[in-house]
Amino acid sequence: MTSVPQELVELVRQAAPPAAEVIPLSWNYEDEDYTVAVVIPDAVDRVETRQLQDRLIEVVMDYDDAHDTFTVCMVWHEREKTHVGLL
């Protein structure tokens, strides 16, 4: 497994809201090349979360198409960090 390229992290960071934390993860679920988590404040509602997910999918797909990679980008609320082991 390779570390998430800084270029990809920066692209995700640019698409994420300023209050979000972008975390390149050192593990993958299955056959992905990269996994990135975006942790957003708990106050972000479902509609805004879905809009963010849509933006991030576009960014990640464009990167993957250009680099022949497969990236998973997950969006979690702050309260979910403990459940997924990010603390």
**Quick check: 31 and 72 in contact, CB under 8 A?**
no
Any idea of the CA torsion for 74, 7, 19, 27, to the nearest 10 degrees? 40
CATH number at residue 42: 3.30.300.90
pLDDT single digits (tens) 25-80: 988 878 899 999 999 999 999 999 999 999 999 999 999 999 999 999 999 999 88
How high is the pLDDT of residue 76?
93
- Is 19 part of a structural domain of the chain? yes
Distance CA 14, CA 70 (A): 19
Q: What pLDDT is recorded for position 26?
A: 87
Whether residue 1 is predicted with pLDDT greater than 80 in this model: the reply is no
Structure tokens, 55: 């933006």
Which pLDDT score is estimated for 85? 60
Evaluate whether residue 59 is within a structural domain: yes
Question: Which residue range(s) make up the domain with 42?
Answer: 6-80
Residue 84's pLDDT is: 61
Round to whole Å and give the CA distance between 22 and 18: 10
What is the predicted pLDDT for the residue at 2? 73
